[in-house]
Chain A
Amino acid sequence: AQTVTQSQPEMSVQEAETVTLSCTYDTSESNYYLFWYKQPPSRQMILVIRQEAYKQQNATENRFSVNFQKAAKSFSLKISDSQLGDTAMYFCAFIAYSGAGSYQLTFGKGTKLSVIP
């Protein structure tokens, strides 16, 4: 079974500070992609950053970066210079072949991040 675990249900950070959200996953597939999605109160799912499993270099997107440890099956998200607009639920996800004819996106339960002024 393919699973994603986010061990921090809630986190808070002071505005302008840095915060790291944790994620571990389990899959037997060798080819897969990892993602972090943001879900603000509007409910829209917004792709924050993606990482190819075969790439050793960690992905970076402006203030967002990841620490991808393939052997440990760990994929954490670092948000630098936190802004009030970063307040949202953050979901870690990966996509791999499901064995049933499709590539399924599997999500963790999410981390609720609050940025404090």
Chain B
Amino acid sequence: NAGVMQNPRHLVRRRGQEARLRCSPMKGHSHVYWYRQLPEEGLKFMVYLQKENIIDESGMPKERFSAEFPKEGPSILRIQQVVRGDSAAYFCASSPLATENYGYTFGSGTRLTVV
């Protein structure tokens, strides 16, 4: 029973390049959440998606960041024209239902380094 799978585990991009982070939720989970963790900080909510729908993107920067969760395949967090300040660990979590009584299952994160 595989957990939440994120890849790559580490990603290095030069300033101005694009970063694509992938997340496959746990089997049976149709709700996906992306969080960002800056150094010495807790995780900050970015976006919540269900299959083919963005439900809540209130934590997503308005420019350069986008997310999708297609009918088939993993959820993708895309960062265009990366800058040094985008360097962080990006975590994906999934849950079976959109209620408050589930602690999400997290992946191991992708550490993005912008050089």
Per-residue interface assignment for chain B, residues 28 to 46, with 1 indicating a CB less than 8 Å from any chain A CB and 0 otherwise: 0000010100001111110
Q: Do most interface residues of chain A lie in helix, strand or loop, or is the interface mixed? A: strand
B111 interface contact, C-beta 8 A: yes
Judging by beta carbons under 8 Å apart, are B109 and A50 in contact? no
Inter-subunit contact A35/B111 (CB<8 Å)? no
Are A106 and B45 in contact, CB atoms less than 8 angstroms apart?
yes
- Size category of the B interface is 20 to 34
Interface residues of B in 4-44 (CB under 8 A from A): 33, 35, 40-44
Q: Which residue of A lies closest to B95 (CB)?
A: A103
CB pair A104–B108 under 8 Å, yes or no, is no
Contact residues, A47-81 vs B (CB, 8 A): 47, 50, 52
Given the complex of chains A and B, what is the CA–CA distance between A107 and B93 in angstroms? 14
